[in-house]
Amino acid sequence: MARSALLNVMVQAAMKAGRRLSRDFGELENLQVSRKGPGDFVSNADYQAEKIIREELAKARPNFGFLMEESGEEEGRDKSHTWIVDPLDGTTNFLHGIPMFAISIALKHEDRIVAGIIYNPATDDLFTAERGRGAFLNDRRMRVAAREDFHDCVVATGVPHLGRGHHGRYLSQLEAVMADVSGIRRMGAASLDLAYVAAGRFDAYWEENLSPWDMAAGILMVREAGGFVSDMKGGEKMLETGGIVAGNEIIRKYLMRNLKRAQV
């Protein structure tokens, strides 16, 4: 499948930043790391990857704005287009030598995500999607899993940790879901959790307290792979509330039902 010019720009930026991340991943002992908050680390790898992505995207589309995890919001001359970027999703994995991390880049036009890519340089998995044009893993078209029985499902999630989230509420959600499914996974990179739902590897996924850059590209990817995404109340306010539930239509509904049972 020939990629559009837009996706090519995004892929090139991610590949370039990915080469830098791979180098840093191979020499973790030399990496400068600082703490943003309790249990929340940032490294020179995050900053360098973000710089490369910003430069590449700005070169190709000089007027677009940015919303980037490390450098924040920057309005462009073209106010209708914004890049939403997580230069390193899964920093905790990265810093522990666990090869489960990714670069996530989305493009928002007006209120819609129109393109998204998620790239794991450690596995060379490249997930891409464009609105109305499907979702792909490398060059293969992706479809969400077709399972309809919740008991057969593997469900991914994000577990709150030191300084983050409502631990009691999460435990009751987990209890309500785990009793009904074949397995629960906590991979540690929200963008990849969504990409894996799009690829049919995970049947469903939920998490709260996310930021727009964790999920913007992944939301489009799941939808373009035929899946459904909502916030924790079944609405469309994922980017605003930080909560997300994803899967095929039937399984997302089962997951919602179980999560509701747990709401405290």
Residues near ligand IPD (CB under 6 A) are: 86, 89-92, 158, 188-190, 207, 210, 214
Contacts of 147 (CB under 8 A, 6+ apart): 153, 203, 248, 251
- How close are the terminal C-alpha atoms of the chain, in Å? 47
Rg (CA), the chain: 18
Give 89 or 147: the residue with its C-beta nearer to ligand IPD: 89
Give 107 or 194: the residue with its C-beta nearer to ligand IPD: 194
Report what 189 binds from Ca ion, ligand IPD, none; CB cut-off 5-8 Å by kind: ligand IPD
User: What is the nearest approach in angstroms of ligand IPD to the Cβ of residue 90?
Assistant: 5
Query: Does 214 engage in binding with Ca ion (CB under 5 A)?
Result: yes
- List own/partner pairs for 61-66 with CB under 8 A and 24 or more apart: 61/9, 64/107
Give 83 or 147: the residue with its C-beta nearer to ligand IPD: 83
Contacts of 87 (CB under 8 A, 6+ apart): 17, 46, 47, 49, 50, 53, 68, 69, 70, 103
Q: Is 177 helix (H, G, I), strand (E, B) or coil?
A: helix
Report what 65 binds from ligand IPD, Ca ion, none; CB cut-off 5-8 Å by kind: none
Q: How many residues bind Ca ion (CB under 5 A)?
A: 5
Residues 83-142 contacting Ca ion, CB under 5 A: 86, 88-89
Give 60 or 178: the residue with its C-beta nearer to ligand IPD: 178
**Selection from 108, 97, 113, 119 nearest residue 53 by Cα:** 119
Report what 188 binds from Ca ion, ligand IPD, none; CB cut-off 5-8 Å by kind: ligand IPD
Interface residue list for Ca ion (CB under 5 A): 69, 86, 88-89, 214
